Amino acid sequence: MRNFVGYPYRARLDEIKKKRVKKGQVLFRSKPFCYILEYGCQAQFCENCLVNIKDHSLPLTCKCGRTRYCSENCRQVGQVIHFRECQVFQRRPNFKPKNLTMFMARIIWKLNAGGYEISEKIDEKRSRRFRDLESHIPDIKKDPSRREILINLRHELRQLVGPNMLPSNPELVAIYGRVCINMFALLDDQFDSIGLALYLAPSIMDHSCCPNAFVSFQGKQIVVRSLVDHDNFNWNKVRITYIDQLNLNSSRREQLLKNYYFLCDCPFCKDDHRARMQSSINCGNPACENGIFIDLDVDDDQPLEPCHQCGFSDLSADVRSTYRGVITFTKDTLNGMSESDPCPDMVSDILDMQGELLHPLNAWRAKTLDAFLTAALARSCWTVALRTMRQNQEAVKWYYGSDHPNYGLFLVRMGRAELFMTEHKAAVDHLYMAQDILEVGVGSAHPAMHAEASNLLIRASGEMVADMKRADFKFHLQRDKDMKNKLGSSKTEGTVPEFG
């Protein structure tokens, strides 16, 4: 699944025809061919418009008890998609098919109702239908884990869509292949995943680990914006990222090969220096900020290279085996934990074990601090969150890029923590930076911008002005005091000394 979405549509064809695209410009705005809300999000979001109904006093709950709507209008529109599954759930309240099964069922219903004929325009010359989507059927058939998923999927689908609607085996593999390769995680305003969606035209965009376009969502509508200026625009040059960039080059390439069946050859993946920094430790020379690459593919007794920057070569002989132990522990512990709700004590144990060994750009250190931040923010521990963000800021900027909206969102969180910790000047600086980045990546109407960055900025600026007024007031107060003291002492000086 494409976790970090983004895709083209027919937004500003007139502009794009001129082949000149400015950064921040919308490339695509597209409605989904199919979508679902994940389990756990159905109580919180309207099934139709995906507005957050947590605070709505009277959301409408469907007869099946699973889906909710923000209004009668949304209920009526939403029922067109939901009514088939609703009948099954009313009959079998305990039947809880997986998210993927729910998604596939909706695709099958849609295709059976003429979905194969639906097409979406990419530009004036090209358009896409469901059959045009990449399917990788031979790869899917050879993939043991996906073959196993297909067996379970078929079993659950039979119960959900019924045996008459269930496609033949080859057709099911073809549909599943297109879904796996092309579906997106639907993200909410905070870029957290709340569902799955498939878009026709936006599926033409290829991947890069250093993307030049960014995907965000307005409800279930996908919006893709260019992160760069193009003088001679061409859809073939548009790249979004399918996976999280905060990772080792080797892990990203492995993940892309496993899930999308291609070897990434983007500039980041080809950058050997980058790959070495991601697996480096701090140089033994305290005055040197360089990282020393530790190759775990060689035996522990092999000598280490000296620091390329300062020539330091006096690292202890067992540093490679120590590093191997730290990385194994980090990897095993992090992989065994929920990404959205990591255990703070366990992450703290990893950080203790890492100590000062890993370089700030080491991927495993950055991922550990990221998990620690998630845990701290979930518990509103602002002091810890701010300290963690400061430790990880350099790495987050380096992995995503200084103009990437994920870094913008990181700066919003940093600004919020600083505001809370009454570090108003730092908050204002970071929120200004965040606003500039998010304006390009998600536009000024996105809630991450107007409800987050801008509002926090207004508050932080107000607090900063109040700080300045307080400082000014204190200064004047002190000056008056000093003056009085001076006058008092000069009076004393002027008085006739007492005689003992």
Stretch of 83-91, 125-133, 240-248, 400-408 lying at the interface with Zn ion (CB under 5 A) = 83-91
Instruction: Assess 281 for contact with Zn ion (CB under 5 A).
Output: no
* Structure tokens that stand for 162 in this block: 């019924």
Stretch of 7-15, 41-49, 384-392, 400-408 lying at the interface with Zn ion (CB under 5 A) = 41-49
Instruction: Assess 213 for contact with Zn ion (CB under 5 A).
Output: no
Instruction: Assess 86 for contact with Zn ion (CB under 5 A).
Output: yes
Which CB sits closer to Zn ion, 312 or 432?
312
Q: What is the largest CA-CA distance in the chain?
A: 118
Instruction: Assess 37 for contact with Zn ion (CB under 5 A).
Output: no
Determine the number of helices (DSSP H) and then strands (DSSP E) in the chain.
16, 14
Give the separation between CA 227 and CA 401, rounded to whole angstroms. Answer: 11
Instruction: Assess 62 for contact with Zn ion (CB under 5 A).
Output: yes
Instruction: Assess 122 for contact with Zn ion (CB under 5 A).
Output: no
Closest listed residue to residue 121, CA positions, set 186, 28, 214, 185: 28
292-321 footprint of Zn ion as x/- string (CB under 5 A): ---------------x-xx-x---------
Instruction: Assess 262 for contact with Zn ion (CB under 5 A).
Output: no
Instruction: Assess 88 for contact with Zn ion (CB under 5 A).
Output: no
Tell me if 74 sits within 8 A of 46, measured CB to CB. yes
Instruction: Assess 64 for contact with Zn ion (CB under 5 A).
Output: yes
CB of 460 to Zn ion, least distance (A): 33
Identity at 146, one-letter amino acid code? R
Instruction: Assess 285 for contact with Zn ion (CB under 5 A).
Output: yes
Q: How many residues bind Zn ion (CB under 5 A)?
A: 20
Instruction: Assess 46 for contact with Zn ion (CB under 5 A).
Output: yes
Chosen residue from 52, 159, 290, 322 binding Zn ion by CB under 5 A: 290
Tell me if 445 sits within 8 A of 216, measured CB to CB. no
Beta bridge partners of 113: none
Beta strands in 176-275 (DSSP E): 184-187, 193-198, 206-207, 213-218, 221-226, 239-240
Residues 6+ apart with CB under 8 A from 90: 63, 64
CA distances from 69 to 44, 64, 65, 77, 165 (A): 10, 13, 11, 10, 28
130-149 footprint of Zn ion as x/- string (CB under 5 A): --------------------
Q: Which chain residues interact with Zn ion by CB under 5 A?
A: 46, 48-49, 62, 64, 70, 74, 86, 209, 264, 266, 269, 283, 285, 288, 290, 307, 309-310, 312
